């Protein structure tokens, strides 16, 4: 059987890091076995839908390098791929379950349900529907339907014994049936619930592997009971431990955790994000960390997904992004970094390109370029306290500065090569090397202690400006 996986986000306008990690695993699994990766939109909660979100999801997956084999914008043989367009399908299967005695009409009002919840709260027990409507007579059901009494359709759960969930990562998991609620399958507005729609869609779309968060493992018992009620083959379940934020809590947009587009807009490369997230909860057989998409696909082994939660670490993400920035050819790098460069610049294109290129090996993400290059655009020359302290740390430093000043004054050919000669001359005449040579020159020229190649830095600051700063 051909491997088919699905990514089924809600159209809420942004892709959370944890959700994207799941999509990555689903994509790698499908492509490792030359299978299909399906995009399905779960929009049963209409109130949360954001206009244009489907195109947004397509664009995000495209940026990440994912080829969608079937989805709302490129339908295959199993559409529609938007759940709100499949309402008749869900109703048909819900009614089949009623006919088989595996589900029932529930006519309880919201007021009745509220009273049941209050009683459960008073007993300090989780609310479970008591199944009273499952005991209605056939005549009463027909009367209610005839009188258009609002209803939902609930799944009839076993109350004794256990349901076994087989998971590729966690093995056999026993779920006590007594904790399973008679879940709603079809709501009063005709829309399916998340759990019911997933089972119907996964079966009809011939999904072979379902990857989802470990927090939903208990819910999978309800899935299995639906598969068994219909006599359908279950997919292979792969439950993955969640990604935690840097504070150790579950990642959440509400807590200020970044979405994919937040990172993209800050200047993180999609391929670096995908590479980093693929290693959160999955480990390759070697110590290799930087992978191309092709390498991720060929190395991916679903059985090496971890049972333990992983922690999102922005420092590690910056490290990955740094590797990918360094791998860019210069032309592509310049085209990319200029989208993030916002310092006001009245210099030539050649000057700007030179500036951006010398910071290429120092850069962790796109917008960082503005902070790194700010000293070239500050109208007031400032040396911070740490740099001032260094300048007073050794009696040889004034001599280094004096020699440097004289060398700059006598320089007629302003080029990187000439400035490298200037630095070498200061080294010989002042009798210093290492940081006692480079740091004083850098501080009196740029105001900062660290930066890219010193000769390039001096060249970009310019002779007139360096002499002006030396006078100060």
Name the nearest CA neighbour of 125 among 163, 179, 161, 176: 179
**Which of these, 442, 465, 346, lies nearest to 387 by C-alpha position?**
442
Alpha helices in 134-193 (DSSP H): 138-146
Sorted by sequence, the CB contacts under 8 Å of residue 12 that are 6+ apart come out as: 48, 49, 50, 53
Rounded-to-integer distance, Cα 211 and Cα 359, Å: 41
According to DSSP, the β-strands at 171-176 and 162-167 are antiparallel
* Helical segments of 288-348, H only: 293-299, 314-327, 330-337
With a CB cutoff of 8 Å and minimum separation 6, the contacts of 51 are none
User: How far apart are alpha carbons 185 and 387 in whole angstroms?
Assistant: 67
> Which residue's structure tokens are 């999609």?
270
Angle (deg, nearest 10), helices 87-99 and 194-204? 100
**Pairwise CA distance, residues 419 & 79, whole Å:** 67
For residue 383 the two structure tokens come to: 């040396």
CB neighbours of 307 closer than 8 A, spacing ≥ 6? 169, 170, 241
How far is it, in rounded angstroms, from Cα 72 to Cα 281? 30
- How far CA 454 is from CA of 55, 114, 359, 373, 435, in Å, comes to 47, 72, 12, 14, 12
* Token output for 281: 């909860």
Q: Which of 253, 332, 339, 433 is catalytic?
A: 253
Please say whether the beta carbons of 219 and 226 come within 8 A: no
Q: How many residues does the chain have?
A: 472
Note if 124 is an active site residue: no
Instruction: Give me the half-sphere count of Cα atoms (radius 13 Å) on the Cβ side of residue 353.
Output: 9
Cα Rg of the chain (Å, integer): 31
Q: Which alpha helices (DSSP H) does 74-128 contain, by range?
A: 87-99, 110-122
Catalytic residues: 253
């Amino acid at each position: 059987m051909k491997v088919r996986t699905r990514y089924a986000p809600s159209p809420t306008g942004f892709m959370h890091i944890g959700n994207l990690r799941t999509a990555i695993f689903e994509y790698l699994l499908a492509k490792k076995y030359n299978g299909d990766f399906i995009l399905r939109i779960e929009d049963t909660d209409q109130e949360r839908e954001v206009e244009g979100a489907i195109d947004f999801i397509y664009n995000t997956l495209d940026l990440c390098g994912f080829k969608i084999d079937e989805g709302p914008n490129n339908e295959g043989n199993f559409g529609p791929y938007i759940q709100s367009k499949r309402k008749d399908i869900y109703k048909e299967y819900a009614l089949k379950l009623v006919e088989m005695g595996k589900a029932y009409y529930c006519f309880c009002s919201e007021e009745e349900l509220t009273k049941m919840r209050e009683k459960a709260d008073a007993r300090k027990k989780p609310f479970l529907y008591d199944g009273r409507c499952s005991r209605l007579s056939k005549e009463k059901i027909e009367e209610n339907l005839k009188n258009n009494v609002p209803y939902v359709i609930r799944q009839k759960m076993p109350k004794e014994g256990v349901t076994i969930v087989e998971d590729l990562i966690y093995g056999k998991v026993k779920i006590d049936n007594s904790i399973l609620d008679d879940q709603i399958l079809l709501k009063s507005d005709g829309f399916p619930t998340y759990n019911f729609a997933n089972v119907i869609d996964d079966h009809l779309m011939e999904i072979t592997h379902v990857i989802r968060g470990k927090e939903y493992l208990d819910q999978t018992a309800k899935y299995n009971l639906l598969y068994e009620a219909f006599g359908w083959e279950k997919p292979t379940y792969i439950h993955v431990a969640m990604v935690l934020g840097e504070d150790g809590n579950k990642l959440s947009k509400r807590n200020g955790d970044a979405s994919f587009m937040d990172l993209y807009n800050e200047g993180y490369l999609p391929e670096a994000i995908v590479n980093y997230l693929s290693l959160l909860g999955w480990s390759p057989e070697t110590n290799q960390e930087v992978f191309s998409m092709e390498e991720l696909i060929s190395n991916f082994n679903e059985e090496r997904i971890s049972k333990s939660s992983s922690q999102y670490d922005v420092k590690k993400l910056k490290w990955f992004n740094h590797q990918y920035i360094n791998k860019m050819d210069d032309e592509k790098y310049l085209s990319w970094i200029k989208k993030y460069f916002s310092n006001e610049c009245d210099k030539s294109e050649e000057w700007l390109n030179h500036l951006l290129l010398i910071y290429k090996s120092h850069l962790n993400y796109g917008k960082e370029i503005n902070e790194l290059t700010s000293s070239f655009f500050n109208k007031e020359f400032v040396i911070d306290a740490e740099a001032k302290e260094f300048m007073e740390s050794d009696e040889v430093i004034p001599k280094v500065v004096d020699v440097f000043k004289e060398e700059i004054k006598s320089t007629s050919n302003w080029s990187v090569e000439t400035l490298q000669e200037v630095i070498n001359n200061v080294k010989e005449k002042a009798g210093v090397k290492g940081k006692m040579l480079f740091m004083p020159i850098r501080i009196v020229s740029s105001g900062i202690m660290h930066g890219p190649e010193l000769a390039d830095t001096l060249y970009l600051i310019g002779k007139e400006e360096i002499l002006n700063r030396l006078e100060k």
